[in-house]
A and B are shown apart, each in its own frame.
Chain A
Amino acid sequence: MYRENWLERLEKRYRWIGFTLLLDLIDGLSLTLSYLFSKTITMQYPDREKWIPYPRFRGHHFLRKFENGDTKCVACELCARICPCQCIKVVPYEDEKGNRRPLIYDVNTARCLFCGLCEDACPVEAIALGQHYEFSAYDSKKLLVGKDVLMKMPGKTEEGGKVVRARLVAGEKVFAEPQGKEGYHWWNRIRRR
């Protein structure tokens, strides 16, 4: 059986003193007050700032390329096989050079749960989940992306986790465009005691 020790008993007995003097309230308000004079923590996304994710982040898929522009994918269909949502469709073909390549490589990002299993399964490190995350659409059909789009998608960030200055682009696509690489890590601005 749990038995309170003498310190706990003492604290319980004299707790009413703190209550009457509003000590907790003062403590809380002083933290709030101090934030009033610190740097802002709220990210100004998408108008002025944008968060660049870490390399391990699992955003929009992309297909890696060789220097000559060919996709690295050999259309083995393992990604399609492992995908728990069955959102990848690969149809192979033999290209002019005699290599096995995808004729069709479609990802239905509307169904994808960004688990990253496709990336794990790929034997040639062709498919991967990158840094891009601003691809919401009004029409779910737009979320079905093909090989050409995937080959143009940004890959993984080199150094991520920063908030950088950005500009809102609101044309056909709406996204925040980073302005320069300099940024800050937002959690540095959190005060801890």
Chain B
Amino acid sequence: MATVTIDGKTITVEDGTLILDAARSLGIEIPTFCYQAKLSRLASCRLCLVEIEGQKKLQPSCATPVLDGMVIHTQSPAVVTARRAMLEFLLANHPLDCPVCDKGGECELQDKVFAFGPREGRFTEWKRTFHSKDYVLSPVIIKNANRCVQCQRCVRICEEIVGASALGSIGRGVKTEETSFMRAWLNCDHCGNCIEVCPVGSLMSLPYRYKARPWDLKEVDTVCPYCGTGCTLTVGLRDGQLLRVRSRRQTGVNEETLCVKGRFGLDFVVHEDRIKRPMIRKNDVLVPVSWREVSNYLKERLLPLKGKGDSVGGLLSAQMTNEEIYTFQKLFREVFGSNNIDSSSRWPVASEGDFYPALLDLISTGIYRGNLREFLSADTLLVAGSNLTDENPVTEYAVRYTLSVLPLHLFILSSRPSRLDKAAKGVKRYIPGREVRILASVLKEVMKAHEEDLKRTFGDVGEVIQGEVIEDDFVRALSSRLLGSRRISILVGTDLLRSPLAVDAFRVISNLIKVLRAAGKECGLQFLFDRSNQMGAIDMGAFPRDGGMGFGSLLEASRDGRISFLYVLGEDPVLNYPDGRLVREALSQVGLLLVQDAFMTETARMAHVVLPGATFAEKDGTFTSNEGRVQRVRAFYNPPFEARRDLEIISHIASLLGVDLETDPSSIFAEIKDLISPYRGVDYEGLGDNGLFTGHEKGVDKGLHPVAIRDVALEGWGFITGNHLYHSGYLSQRSRLLGSLIDAPFLEIGKEGADSLGVREGDSVKVRRNGQSIELKVRVKEGLPEGLLFIPENFGSLSINNLMEKGVYPFPVEVRKNG
């Protein structure tokens, strides 16, 4: 601990604290430019100079740690003069662009010169100019190098946090230009984080170009609707039109970063494909009708089904709010008396009956409901079954940041290569269906080393793992690392959830956690769900319980004509259920298919009744992120046309059946708080900028589950699917900007695979299965295991689920070069 005096105030801080941070915690503001929390220190702008007694020269407070007994002045005449001089230097080459610059009004240079700067310049030389017109760097970035103050925040964030390393400096001295290589079009993540951190108007958002001034914008804080990372974001509206999205400093899990979907992909809310009014199928066409007519129709059809639990079912999207999900399951459980509810149509793919119990067991055993950053400050991190870079980009940023500041050892077990691989201590590629063997081998090693502890905790455990284990470098490295760690964190991705052996994988992981805990280590897991409220959906009970049917069984029952009513809320299974034939066949056999959605999806086209719902932009409520963080979703639009908020529609349907359900999110949340134990400590009104974490429920420790190792064989080619960085789900498909970043779906193939097929990047190939075939462009991806292909899901135009079949993963296919 060090005690320092800053401007006459004394404070005691940890050793190694920066003078800047110490001053800030005293409420003393020191201006900075090149300093950006969480980035490496550059100390190049010299704006943060302070005077330290006993040292002749002024020191940059953003890079100087405190020493015990230091006496520091931040307002002395020397400091004030130096600060002014530094600003004068910056202005010497800064163009007088404020009137035309998009940053005007929120520019750090403007603010600082206004507060500390010289009132006039003395330089009479020409200002250096790189170019006369702004140039476009990417579909989202436009650059004006003349305005750059060389703080390198963009370069550092792109390299250290995003990991894209797309920007760099060219030239030297005053002629340094921070830009892409050769000023060429950037082929990067288009995340826009460089724009966010640029203090001046040098990197600017192209979609927001010349649209408004910051003071025109009405800002609303809400949560990203895409993935489960749950980034907070602030939307800026002018005259009711969404103009831009920004993140907030040091707020939420994302802390000033966002990925491309969150920052630029929210324009789906204004897509013209909205369902405008209720529709009923008459003579095989969907005819728009009034709410009154559709209510009468539904009442007539639904009343006889009240309490007929077995013949009804519901599927809802995990992008609905907690309140909607809760009300939806309440409608089914209490009004229809049915447990046939599901919140994802993409998994489970097999062994449906065991899936949720195993998942819930894993959750109650191992989940860490708490800040991701704290979760990551462990000794070892295992990422299992996810291409983090594409699926949960901001979680990946957090991992990358943690790796740069802590001695965290990262191990990746994933089918898809990702950008994090380079930073990992161990990487294992596998063909889905073999993950259980790998994990079980690790478990076995760990158990061997801790036999004594296990005996003490679990008694005689017997043969937990049945089957042959493997021994390779990865297994050895990971298990010895686990043995040497005190704190272990596991991130479980959607690839594991999709696996036909998901249940076994859950059991192995749950065993692993229990074993490591028995050995006196801290161990926890978080999921990497790719839907914003998947965690909430599970918490709210949107899954089949007590013998209910999951979506896959519901489809099979429908195909056999046993389902008279299916209610699909905000999901598009026709497009994304991994068995195109089954889902189409089954849905056409349902007695009454009710689809409630904001957009005209493929499923809605098959429906008997379509109800116009709302997007996340039009509703209030809460999402629960992968961290178990409950955050407020706030409406910034009104539902257009005849659309209604989903909560209102669900309770309207209940009211047709004579049951009153609450429609006010805060009262529903109060009910959730009473009934669902992790939410006990969460108060709707108390959800501030950072949300609140749900609590841990005490799991019933049932000892270790025996697991029999099985393999899924794959012969020839097989493809897996998942999210692409620019696309996840049918929402992103309706974002014009995201659509412009990637024009067509593609097929990823490993290097050796490409050679053996004789194809090169950009070639077209034909992928065939069961008489169905699609054509795709090839992208060669180094590191995909042999025999494995990757095709991103959710490209509506493609219907790749025609090549998929329930219970199989990866999907075996034939691949041929086209032409």
Contacts and interface: CB of A to CB of B under 8 A. Distances in A.
Given A98-B133, A98-B134, A92 B99 contact: no
Interface in B183-231: 209-213, 215-216
B209 A76 contact: no
Contacts of B238: 91
A76 B100 contact: yes
A156 to B, nearest CB: 22
Interface string A93-107: 110001110000000
Given A94-B210, A98-B133, A74 B99 contact: yes
A74 B100 contact: yes
A93 B211 CA distance: 6
Contacts of A123: 98-99
Given A75-B210, A92-B210, A100-B210, A124 B99 contact: yes
A65 interface: no
Interface in A50-98: 74-78, 81, 91-94, 98
A77 B99 CA distance: 8
Interface size class of B (residues with CB under 8 A): 10 to 19
A104 B100 CA distance: 16
**Main SS at interface, chain B:** loop
Contacts of B163: none
Contacts of A99: 100
A25 to B, nearest CB: 64
Contacts of B99: 74, 76, 78, 100, 123-124
Contacts of B104: 76
A53 B212 CA distance: 36
Interface residues of A, number: 15
Residue from B98, B104, B210 having most chain A Cβ neighbours under 10 A: B210
Interface string B69-105: 0000000000000000000000000000011100010
A14 to B, nearest CB: 66
Contacts of B98: 76, 123
Nearest to A73: B99
Interface string A104-134: 0000000000000000000110000000000
Nearest to A98: B133
Contacts of A92: 210-212
B212 A100 contact: no
Interface string B132-153: 0110000000000000000000
Contacts of B209: 94
Nearest to A100: B100
Contacts of B211: 91-93
Nearest to A77: B213
A124 to B, nearest CB: 7
A142 to B, nearest CB: 22
A128 to B, nearest CB: 16
A124 B212 CA distance: 18
A166 to B, nearest CB: 39
B98 to A, nearest CB: 7
Contacts of A124: 99
Nearest to A93: B210
A98 to B, nearest CB: 6
Contacts of B215: 81
A92 B210 CA distance: 5
A99 B572 CA distance: 43
Contacts of B210: 75, 92-94, 100
Given A81-B215, A124-B99, 12 more contacts: A74-B100, A76-B98, A76-B99, A76-B100, A91-B212, A91-B238, A92-B210, A92-B212, A93-B211, A98-B134, A99-B100, A100-B100
Q: Report the 5 A-B pairs with minimum CB-CB distance, sorted nearest first.
A: A76-B99, A92-B210, A100-B100, A123-B99, A77-B213
Interface of B: 98-100, 104, 133-134, 209-213, 215-216, 238
